[in-house]
Amino acid sequence: MMLERRVSFSSSAAPTQNAKAFLSSALVKGFVPAFRHQDSGEVRLCQGDDGRIAHRHLIDALPAAWVAERDGAGRPSALIAAVEPGYLRGDAFWRLRDLCHPHLDS
DSSP letter string, 70-94 = E-TTS-EEEE-TTEEEEEEETTEEE
Closest among 15, 38, 24, 14 to 99, alpha carbons compared: 24
Using the predicted structure, report yes or no on whether residue 63 has a pLDDT greater than 50: yes
| pLDDT average, residue stretch 30-42 | 94
pTM above 0.75, yes or no: no
The pLDDT value recorded for residue 4 is 37
Distances (CA, A) of 7 to 69, 77, 104: 24, 23, 23
